[in-house]
Structure 1
Amino acid sequence: MSQPTEPAPSPDGAALHGPVARLLRPLVRLLVQRGITFPALTNLLRELYVNVAEYDFALPGKEQTDSRVSLLTGIHRKEVRRLRGAGAPVSQVPATVSRTSRIIARWVAAPEFTDGQGRPLPLPRSADDAAPSFESLVAGVTKDVRPRAVLDEWLDRGLVVLDPEGRVRLLEAAYLPKGGAEPQLYYFGRNLHDHIAAAAENVTAPSPRFFERAVHYDGLSDGLAGRLEARAREIAMGALKEANAEAHAACAEDAGGRHRWNFGIYIYREEVPARDSGAGPESDAAEGSAP
């Protein structure tokens, strides 16, 4: 049986080549650094192509066939048959990531655990009355792990410290998973997935559905770029804390369901080779619309 002819790129598909190459470049750099070779990536992409075609491009009321998956992906039917049936991808949140993020989210959002400026309070390990404590903080999120075990883990990871009065203080490091550790790699995949998913939806939809905008200036000095980065961090952290506080309060009255929501912010700067530098500063907001 002959290899199926790979579908020719549509005009829209051809227009994506340049943006996709730019998008993938930092990812390829990371893969090379981590020893993931091109053949290994090819195997992963082959599996993903088949999985996406099988589950995301199924026709309503019709069973997806090997032939149609082969036509959509350009992958031989024999390979399609071998790779199909793995099941729709499910994103599993590591238990420690889920537990830690939920406890921290409560600590920085719940009024009983924050001061008048919305900053997380230092907490005694326990309290005899209804006063806020680290024990009550953890117990309000999970009963599966003892608060002392969480405290020991967080002290070891540098997320909290004990002050001279023996109270537990949340450190800024709690917001920043260690490089290459499981929590960081989980959010690496989740955050980039959601950003790309939002951008892809905006490209394919008749009008942009998701809010996706940026402010960017070129031709800056190193000093100004550094100051803008520092200021952007302050603005971004304030926005994240405000969004978290509102979401935390709203969840207390929500009946629950199958939806999820993500509000993310990124900041980036780099030194551009002289030949690529712009003639001067410019500002532009990427196309998008409020959700």
Structure 2
Amino acid sequence: MSETAPTAPEGASLHAPVARLLRPLVRLFVARGITFPALTNLLRELYVNVAEYDFALPGKEQTDSRVSLLTGIHRKEVRRLRGAGAPVSAVPVAVSRTSRIVARWLADPAFTDRAGRPSPLPRSAEGGAASFESLVAGVTRDLRPRAVLDEWLDRGFATIDPEGRIVLTESAYVPKGGGEPQLYYFGRNLHDHIAASVANIVGDTPPFLERAVHYDGLSEDLAKRLEARAREIAMEALQQANREAHAACETDPGGSHRWNFGLYVYAESVPPAASGDPA
């Protein structure tokens, strides 16, 4: 009589990579006071929501029993949590306004120099010449350019040079401080990166580009030099993509699709004992 080795539960192969993926998130949760019970409640709601909307059978109404079967959550809990609607990620007004103005300043040839860098802009100019006022007015007429400038100066997004021109600072590219803008991009960018990776795993053919260049066992000096150079390469790629997307949008009729092109650079010191599974 032959014995068959027990098969691993379905999904067991995901345990290790998911644990590694969640570790920095759990670090954030603990730092920001999101307790395990609070996270459990959130995950319960998400499980029900995903099963209800993403795993519905074509032409059939999703039932409490099927959602319970898919998620392992009791039917009473499923019944209580269903019907909330698919979550919608609304873009904060401040984020949308700032990102659109910055994107135009970085992409529109009228507001960049010959090397493609954002030009210092006078507050106003006559005859249609490029200025901070014309930059803002080209994106939104709901706000006075002076109000936008005051906000940007206060947040360090812009400075004023000795000639009185407005200069875009690097901090305008990356919101900081853990406020609403930074947390919005935290959720958006990580969602899109993970969504692309998941689509590549569950799809018949990998539909999205998702690649990384990585080296281990480096000296601290080389790791820092590679990080600095990677930042330069990444910014060049992002600026080029922004210029081409901005130009293409000028003639696009518009629709329901969105596109995101993201890059990240990461480096850390890994203890030898943990080299196989860095935190």
Which of 51, 57, 60 matches 2:58? 60
Pairs within 5 Å for 1:162-201: 162-201=160-199
Structure 1 counterpart of 2:55, which letter?
F
Q: d(CA) in 2 for partners of 1:179 and 1:274? A: 32
Q: d(CA) in 1 for partners of 2:154 and 2:68? A: 50
What is the aligned partner in structure 2 of residue 5 from structure 1? none
Deviation at 1:164, TM superposition (A): 1.5
Which of 242, 245, 249 matches 2:243? 245
User: Given the alignment of the two structures, is residue 77 of structure 1 paired with residue 75 of structure 2, yes or no?
Assistant: yes
Deviation at 1:276, TM superposition (A): 3.6
Deviation at 1:116, TM superposition (A): 0.2
Q: d(CA) in 1 for partners of 2:9 and 2:260? A: 32
Deviation at 1:47, TM superposition (A): 0.4
Structure 2 counterpart of 1:144, which letter?
D
Q: Deviations over 1:85-138 (max 9, x none)?
A: 111111100000000000000000000000000000111111121100111100
What is the aligned partner in structure 2 of residue 142 from structure 1? 140
Q: Deviations over 1:24-77 (max 9, x none)?
A: 011001101111100000000000000101111111111111111111100011
Deviation at 1:245, TM superposition (A): 0.3
Pairs within 5 Å for 1:267-286: 267-277=265-275
Runs of 5+ unmatched residues, structure 2: 1-6
Structure 1 counterpart of 2:268, which letter?
E
**How many pairs align?**
270
Deviation at 1:178, TM superposition (A): 1.4
How large is the Cα RMSD of the aligned pairs? 1.2
Please state whether the residue corresponding to 2:123 is helix, strand or coil: coil
Which of 109, 112, 121 matches 2:110? 112
What is the aligned partner in structure 1 of residue 258 from structure 2? 260
Q: d(CA) in 2 for partners of 1:245 and 1:194? A: 21
Q: d(CA) in 2 for partners of 1:86 and 1:10? A: 31
Deviation at 1:277, TM superposition (A): 3.9
TM-score between the two structures when normalised by the length of structure 1: 0.91
Deviation at 1:10, TM superposition (A): 4.8
Post-superposition, which runs of at least 4 consecutive aligned residues in structure 1 deviate over 2 A? 8-11, 275-278
1:91–1:53 distance in 2 versus 1, CA, 3 Å: same
Q: How many percent identity over aligned positions?
A: 77
Q: d(CA) in 2 for partners of 1:60 and 1:145? A: 46
What is the aligned partner in structure 2 of residue 128 from structure 1? 126
Q: d(CA) in 2 for partners of 1:18 and 1:277? A: 15
Please state whether the residue corresponding to 1:36 is helix, strand or coil: coil
Which of 228, 233, 244 matches 1:235? 233
TM-score between the two structures when normalised by the length of structure 2: 0.95
1:122–1:190 distance in 2 versus 1, CA, 3 Å: same
Q: Deviations over 1:220-239 (max 9, x none)?
A: 00000000000000000000
Q: d(CA) in 2 for partners of 1:189 and 1:109? A: 25
Q: d(CA) in 2 for partners of 1:120 and 1:10? A: 55
Q: d(CA) in 1 for partners of 2:8 and 2:80? A: 26
Structure 2 counterpart of 1:29, which letter?
R
What is the aligned partner in structure 1 of residue 18 from structure 2? 20
Deviation at 1:197, TM superposition (A): 0.1
Please state whether the residue corresponding to 1:108 is helix, strand or coil: helix
What is the aligned partner in structure 2 of residue 36 from structure 1? 34
Q: d(CA) in 1 for partners of 2:48 and 2:180? A: 27
Q: d(CA) in 2 for partners of 1:276 and 1:155? A: 44
Deviation at 1:9, TM superposition (A): 7.7
What is the aligned partner in structure 2 of residue 218 from structure 1? 216
Q: d(CA) in 1 for partners of 2:92 and 2:275? A: 42
Structure 1 counterpart of 2:202, which letter?
T
